[in-house]
Amino acid sequence: MNFKFNQALMFTATSLSLLIAGCSQSNVANTASSPSKETKSKPSENSIEIWPTLDIAVKPDEKIEQRIADLLGKMTLAQKVAQTIQPEIRDITLEDMRTYGFGSYLNGGGAFPNGDKHALPSDWVALAEKMYQASIDDSIDGSTIPTMWGTDAVHGHNNVIGATLFPHNIGLGATHNPALIEDIAKATAEEVLATGIDWIFAPTVATVRDDRWGRTYEGYSEDPEIVRLYSASIVKGLQGRANSNFLGERQVISTVKHFIGDGGTIGGDDQGNNIADEQTLFDIHAQGYVGGLTAGAQTVMASFNSWKGDKVHGNQYLLTSVLKERMGFDGFVVGDWNGHGQIPGCSNESCPQAMNAGLDVFMVPTGAWKPLLENTIAQVKSGEISEARLDDAVTRILRVKLRAGLFDKPAPAKRVLSGDKDIIGSPEHRAVARQAVRESLVLLKNHQQLLPLSPNANVLVAGGGADNIGQQSGGWSITWQGTGNTNQDFPGGTSIYQGIKQAVSHAKGHVELATDGKFTQRPDVAIVVFGEQPYAEGNGDLDNLEYQRGNKTDLALLKSLKDQGIPVVSIFLTGRPLWVNPELNASDAFVVAWLPGTEGGGVADVLFSTENAELKHDFKGKLSFSWPKSPTQTNINRFDKNDTALLPYGFGLKYGEKSTLGNALSEETNRDSAQAISSLAIYDRSVQAPWKMALVTTQKSKTVASSMLENAELKFRTIDRRVQEDAFKIDWLSENAGQMRIYHDFLQDLRSYTEANSAIQFDYFLNSPIDAPLWLQVNCAETCTSDIDLRAHMQQQPTWQTLSVDLACFAQNATDFSKVGIPFALRSQGLLSLSLSDIRIVPHAANKADIGCPTE
Ligand code: BGC
Ligand code: BGC
């Protein structure tokens, strides 16, 4: 194989040291550590020397520091706390902004002015203007400090109709082109400014180690090298350069996120637990911060994930000692979407722990902002949060606002680019995006040099992704999940089919679109566009990497064309490397297009030559992620020694290069992967990530966030069985009372467990007789539940016992195991006191289960 690596990017001194670090990482036992209650720093285990002090491009400025001190000296406690509260546009009114003067606010993914998906740039600017005016209106709160608006422009200004959507980061990683990344960032900044917005929650600088993670596509690479370089480029593009146009009128504030370790959680679980040792945390997961903070990024978003069991939002060592004190970050740390509420002992409404740990701004969408504001004020009054800590947080916020010129700039409606609708989706920006699409395409296979195609040919375009701008754009596209859109929601955009049509109609060729492959005129070649449906965050988490497991409709389409003797070119839309050996075998040429965004024309640019058979554009893309050779090869990464990928990091054919894959790759799905799956711990001393526990009553559902929770119907309390607090007791206090539920907001794919004949097991101790039905429930969504009465199978005994139920019983009833939201819930119809521990799903235990189910 002939790999042409970009010399500038390869094998620098750092990557060699990472080689060593990478090896040591594989020695880390891959066991879930039980989350510790301790959220403070543990000095004995920490090695601050690992972290360098960064040479940050933006230096402190005497005048700004003086202005901050003057402002701070005049602020009341309530005004200060308001600076630390960031509500969401769906949960506040202008009056709230006038009354409290929040330091900032956001619109979440898929949140628009007036709730209108088709809001115009002028509507966005109008909201920005009104919020700004309300914030500087001192009639109620006495404050004139301007607020600022943050948005997730993560691949272009993706919440705005008509915006240029660039390829998602995984595609940009394949371009290996930091200069192009800076151009994309500049274009994004301009489109954001046209809507009156000040601040972007990007770039995501996760180094993604396990491709099952639903946010894999938000990462540039599995290797820190590109992440570090790109982070610096994008920050310079968004904010401008330190000594020239820094935060000038064409720039926005940027955020490096999510600090830290989001890409390295066990099993690729979104919001999960990263157990890397500290050197690895720096070498692998911190490099995006090294790049981005050095370039002057002004904000850092704390991550939902834990490090060694402790939520980063409450981790003083990481947020304060490492990030601020040691690395020298002097901007502010913003939380993620109610992330503070996940710290043990906190709720969305109250969390002194987070601010004490070093969080400066609470991202608090939902109505929780009001109690949080009030509680935080009370906590500073009582000394639970020191005044010095609050002052430090506000100092940091004001520093960023002053650096961004917010006090001196005109109001949003009067800024240079505001309301300029020609900027949104401008031809110049689309040209940059189209170039990025071209450069991101990775050619995996080109049997007998089928590509490039002649534009004079008779071309069939097939596949569900062919004329589908929503699918080619992925998550974070107009809506949060990227679902529910049609091509009309992307005015000015081009589907892959439309791009092909333009290229071919230009020559004397012929194109037919038939998504199901049923052509009317026999083609010379078929281009089939298919791949993942859009998703965002935990909704995209997988349990292995097999494409279309159990439902290979795209493979059937490829095969039907091949069986008719038609050469097949596959264009694969995906947010991550997936196991596609059968699809590769059924394709003559195979191109990974990732999630290219709105400029689908970039695909045809590379697929077709000129009419005179001259190349227009060669393939440039190289994998920035290793490509798996089996569904379970989920966390193979560059420099891994013991395992080989199907195609390694850096792979990507050019025209004329010999294609090596052949048509006979193993199609063995490795059902032993089902064999090899291990028990799934749901409750093991505590609820295991990603699951959470809640008490659900007729009134409401309350997440269990500490060792005790009680309402009129149910009482929860942790108890000691083998060790401290490794079990819990539930009392049903009234008849037909509520449910104890283990759940996750994002549906999990547990099919491998039903395929492996698993049983759901738990240990119990009856503290009272059981004389009414006790319903065990496994739920995939509200409409998809199945209950089994356990009463007849449980006895009161003086010891703990195990009860085991065949999972198939639930599958037979209604539960769809591809999307499980609740793997375990109990509801008693009568009064009952029951202790529980060790809730798990155990493979190959179905035939020995206490409650069996007939198998078909
Ligand atoms: C928001 C997203 C956010 C998500 C978090 C959605 O409702 O629109 O921006 O990331 O919730 O759960
Ligand atoms: C995501 C962040 C995002 C935030 C605001 C969260 O759910 O994790 O990446 O910036 O929502 O939408």
Q: Give φ, ψ of 806 to 5 degrees.
A: -60, 125
* Confidence (pLDDT) at 701: 85
* Confidence (pLDDT) at 688: 82
Which of 257, 265, 304, 337 should be mutated for ligand 2, with most atoms under 8 A from CB? 337
Domain coordinates in residue numbering, the chain: 7-27+46-414, 441-673, 680-848
Single pTM value for the model: 0.81
- Using the mean position of ligand 2's atoms as its centre, give its distance from the Cα of residue 303 in Å: 9
Same-fold call for 7-27+46-414 versus 441-673: no
- Using the mean position of ligand 2's atoms as its centre, give its distance from the Cα of residue 495 in Å: 27
- Using the mean position of ligand 2's atoms as its centre, give its distance from the Cα of residue 49 in Å: 31
What is the Cα–Cα distance from 817 to 747, expressed in whole angstroms? 9
The answer for residues whose C-beta is within 8 angstroms of residue 61's C-beta and 6 or more apart is 403
Q: Give φ, ψ of 527 to 5 degrees.
A: -105, 115
Q: Residue 856: is it exposed, middle or buried by C-beta count within 10 angstroms (0-12/13-18/19+)?
A: exposed
* Confidence (pLDDT) at 99: 97
Decide: 480 in ligand 1 pocket, CB within 6 A: yes
- Report, in angstroms and rounded to the nearest whole number, the Rg of the chain calculated over CA atoms: 27
Token output for 204: 């995501």
What is the Cα–Cα distance from 641 to 22, expressed in whole angstroms? 9
Domain 441-673: homologous superfamily in CATH:
Glycoside hydrolase family 3 C-terminal domain (3.40.50.1700)
Q: Which atom of ligand 1 is nearest to the CA of 109?
A: 9
Residue positions annotated with a catalytic role? 336, 537
- Please tell me whether residue 615 adopts helix, strand or coil conformation: coil
Provide the 8-state DSSP code for 52.
Answer: P
* Confidence (pLDDT) at 726: 81
Return the amino acid letter for 416.
V
- Using the mean position of ligand 2's atoms as its centre, give its distance from the Cα of residue 790 in Å: 40
Segments of the chain with pLDDT less than 50? 1-44, 673-675, 856
Q: Give φ, ψ of 594 to 5 degrees.
A: 55, -135
What is the Cα–Cα distance from 439 to 521, expressed in whole angstroms? 32
7-27+46-414 folds as TIM Barrel (3.20.20)
Decide: 109 in ligand 1 pocket, CB within 6 A: yes
What is the Cα–Cα distance from 202 to 111, expressed in whole angstroms? 17
Alpha carbon nearest to ligand 2 atom 6, residue: 337
- Using the mean position of ligand 2's atoms as its centre, give its distance from the Cα of residue 119 in Å: 21
Q: How far is CA 718 from the centre of its chain?
A: 32
Provide the 8-state DSSP code for 199.
Answer: E
Q: Which atom of ligand 2 is nearest to the CA of 301?
A: 10
* Confidence (pLDDT) at 815: 79
Closest C-alpha to 686, from 672, 665, 705: 705
841 beta partners: 680, 760
b or e along 445-470 (b: 16 or more beta carbons within 10 Å of the residue's beta carbon)? bbbeebbbbbbbbbbbbbbbbbbbbb
Alpha carbon nearest to ligand 2 atom 11, residue: 337
Alpha carbon nearest to ligand 1 atom 12, residue: 337
Q: Which atom of ligand 2 is nearest to the CA of 204?
A: 9
* Confidence (pLDDT) at 746: 76
- Please tell me whether residue 513 adopts helix, strand or coil conformation: strand
Q: List residues near ligand 2 (CB under 6 A).
A: 106, 108-109, 152, 201, 257, 336-337, 537
Half-sphere CA count of 555, side-chain side, radius 13 A: 15
Judged by its nearest atom, the ligand closest to the C-alpha of residue 90 is 1
Decide: 366 in ligand 1 pocket, CB within 6 A: no
Q: Which atom of ligand 1 is nearest to the CA of 745?
A: 12
Q: Which atom of ligand 1 is nearest to the CA of 536?
A: 10
Q: Tell me the C-alpha to C-alpha distance, in Å, between residue 241 and each of 149, 232, 323, 849.
A: 22, 10, 22, 64
Q: Which atom of ligand 2 is nearest to the CA of 480?
A: 12
* Contact in structure between 4 and 654 (CB atoms under 8 Å): yes
- Using the mean position of ligand 2's atoms as its centre, give its distance from the Cα of residue 589 in Å: 37
- Using the mean position of ligand 2's atoms as its centre, give its distance from the Cα of residue 336 in Å: 6
Alpha carbon nearest to ligand 2 atom 5, residue: 108
Closest C-alpha to 197, from 399, 406, 367: 406
What is the Cα–Cα distance from 549 to 10, expressed in whole angstroms? 36
Q: Tell me the C-alpha to C-alpha distance, in Å, between residue 693 and each of 268, 701, 706.
A: 21, 10, 10
What is the Cα–Cα distance from 273 to 584, expressed in whole angstroms? 34
* Confidence (pLDDT) at 719: 84
Q: Give φ, ψ of 308 to 5 degrees.
A: 50, 40
Closest C-alpha to 573, from 433, 442, 434: 442
Alpha carbon nearest to ligand 2 atom 7, residue: 337
What is the Cα–Cα distance from 58 to 294, expressed in whole angstroms? 8
Q: Strands 273-274, 332-334: parallel, antiparallel or unpaired by DSSP? A: unpaired
Decide: 108 in ligand 1 pocket, CB within 6 A: yes
Multiple choice CATH, 680-848, 2.60.120.430, 3.40.1160.10, 2.60.120.650, 3.30.420.40? 2.60.120.430
* Tens digits of residue pLDDT in 24-64: 333 333 333 333 333 444 444 789 999 999 999 999 999 99
